[in-house]
Structure 1
């Protein structure tokens, strides 16, 4: 996944849960290039998850997807 694809996937996920683009500044939260390198370098069987917050939402990025965590997932 390229850093632009990952960026668009993160933005799309945030917009899906109702967070408008003017409500956050991703460059202050994450380094998209570093995140993309980390995701792409992980062993596909390792189950790497990178979790971070954007506004009130907690995101989880893996090699296969970007999703907003539920309260149950956040506790694990």
Structure 2
């Protein structure tokens, strides 16, 4: 992993630990691609915000770091197009939101 990826992973792990999620209860590589997330945040500028849910903890990740979302998710919503559970909505530009992991285009407020 690269230094930005390492820093991002450490920040996410520390944020999860503060919420009582032990390190041995998850594998970040199975939840999302840390290197792809780091590249997205590096190239997206200040407007990119990614929402993740790991072990029932809702996180908001930006190029400034990870934080717990103000309101947790009760359950993972389904993609309105393909029906798969949506764990994150990625916004590259203000008018385009993509569901993760399926890749379908969705509303920006799908996880709110």
Return the structure number with greater helix share: 1
2-side partners of 1:32 and 1:61: how far apart? 11
Displacement after TM superposition at 1:56 (Å): 0.7
Aligned pair count reads: 74
Aligned equivalent of 2:53: 53
1-side partners of 2:11 and 2:71: how far apart? 21
What secondary structure is seen at the aligned counterpart in 2 of 1:39? helix
Answer with 1 or 2: which has the greater Rg.
Answer: 2
What is the alpha-carbon root mean square deviation over aligned residues? 2.1
Aligned equivalent of 1:29: 31
Return the structure number with greater strand share: 2
Q: Name structure 1 gaps, 5 residues minimum.
A: none
TM-score normalised according to structure 1 size: 0.85
Greater relative CO (CA pairs within 8 A, separation 6+): 1
Greater than 6 Å deviation, 4+ residue runs: none
2-side partners of 1:65 and 1:33: how far apart? 14
